[in-house]
Amino acid sequence: MPLSNRKTLTQYLIEQRRRFPGASGELNALILDVALACKAIARSVAFGALGDPSTRQLAVANGGDDLGGSTNVQGEVQQPLDIVSNEIFIRTTEWSGHLAGMASEEMDAPRQIPATFKRGKYLLVFDPLDGSSNIDVNVSVGSIFSILRAPTDVVDSARDVTEADFLQPGAAQVAAGYAIYGPTAILVLTVGDGVAGFTLDPNLGEFKLTHPDIRVPAETQEFAINTSNSRFWEPPIKRYVDECLAGRTGVRGKDFNMRWIASMVAEAHRILMRGGVFMYPRDTKDPAKPGRLRLLYECNPVGFIMEQAGGRASTGRQPVLGVKPSALHQRIGIVFGSAQEVERIERYHHERMPVEVESPLFATRGLFRD
Ligand code: AHG
Ligand code: MN
Ligand code: MN
């Protein structure tokens, strides 16, 4: 089929909306604004070391500079493009009247919609640039977003949003997606009816439906984990990885490949395309950080996409989407991808910790059965 005959993102969203005859179209409009942000970020990323002349002012005005970055609330180095991407998200979405507020990896507290704009019924949570430490080495990066309903009293009173308004479990997400800026820019989206992928047509600047019903293969022979952390892993993860490494000579009876891009969006995309399992589990490296990835704007959206694609996302102990968040920038252990592998890893956790839930008892070894 020639590319020109493919559905656009707009067409896909309108067709999805027909499932809900009462829908106002606000969610679709918001998703299209987010898609516009992703196109703008794709463009900025493509300038690389040249620097995008159209966004340099944005970076400088927001605390970055042309050469280096600043530091975000989590003490991580912000690349100039982290800051630019954050500003692009804000500017393309805050004016629309669809948002009650937003939150981002790059902002300490929730961002209020300025009084000059109408406030709406959705909350937008995002990681404007995931994997940004890979920018300098020209490896794929991405943006991740999650859309939640604002609590009714926020909508009714149009009051300012608070951190608590965002602390909803992933199961409450209305839509989620990511854009990957690789050899091509691809937007992957779920509005709760499967997962679809759209490739950015560089001629038209439009996202076109190229991956209509993405399904994660249930079985895999590929796993992804940062093995430099292996001495900090908990026993169930050690067991799983050891069994993969033993390959056909071990209990799995087959050889595995390992991958690590250090860009979760890129790992999630590979897994959606050809299966696999990704692990950034809870470990004992830093007791203040039970996991590396952030629940609200990394784990929940990717978890929603995986589940909608027939895969699975888990903390090892419970489904990611069932975790009640306790803080905006909360980190959590995550395992996602091919359902059978994630189930196996969950089983290994449950065999050691039959009654455990995500709790402040983290790292209390007395809970282990053996
Ligand atoms: P971010 O660039 O938004 O801070 O996220 C980076 C994350 C994630 O994309 C990746 O999987 C992980 O950090 C890489 O961690 P290591 O540095 O341990 O490899
Ligand atoms: Mn990230
Ligand atoms: Mn980021």
pLDDT digits (tens, 9 = 90+) for 142-154: 999 999 999 999 9
Question: Which ligand number lies closest to the CA of residue 265?
Answer: 1
Q: Whose CA is nearest to atom 2 of ligand 1?
A: 131
The superfamily (CATH) of domain 3-211 is Fructose-1,6-Bisphosphatase, subunit A, domain 1 (3.30.540.10)
Provide the CATH topology of domain 222-350.
D-Maltodextrin-Binding Protein; domain 2 (3.40.190)
Token pair for 84: 């630019």
CA of 21 to the centre of ligand 3 (A): 36
- Ligand 1 pocket check for 329: Cβ under 6 Å: no
CA of 127 to the centre of ligand 2 (A): 6
Q: Provide the whole-model pTM.
A: 0.92
The closest-lying atom of ligand 1 relative to the alpha carbon of residue 129 is: 3
Considering the chain, tell me which residue range(s) the CATH 3.40.190.80 domain(s) occupy. Answer: 222-350
Neighbours of 241 (CB within 10 A): 20
Provide the pLDDT confidence category of residue 290 given band limits of 50, 70 and 90: confident
Give Cα separations from 145 to 37, 51, 303 (angstroms).
11, 25, 12
Comparing CA positions, the residue from 268, 191, 212, 266 lying closest to residue 32 is 191
> What percentage of the chain carries pLDDT values higher than 90?
81
Considering the chain, tell me which residue range(s) the CATH 3.30.540.10 domain(s) occupy. Answer: 3-211
CA of 286 to the centre of ligand 1 (A): 16
Place of tokens 């590396």: 292
For 85-132, write each residue's pLDDT tens digit.
Answer: 999 999 999 999 999 999 999 999 999 999 999 999 999 999 999 999
- Ligand 1 pocket check for 263: Cβ under 6 Å: yes
The closest-lying atom of ligand 1 relative to the alpha carbon of residue 132 is: 2
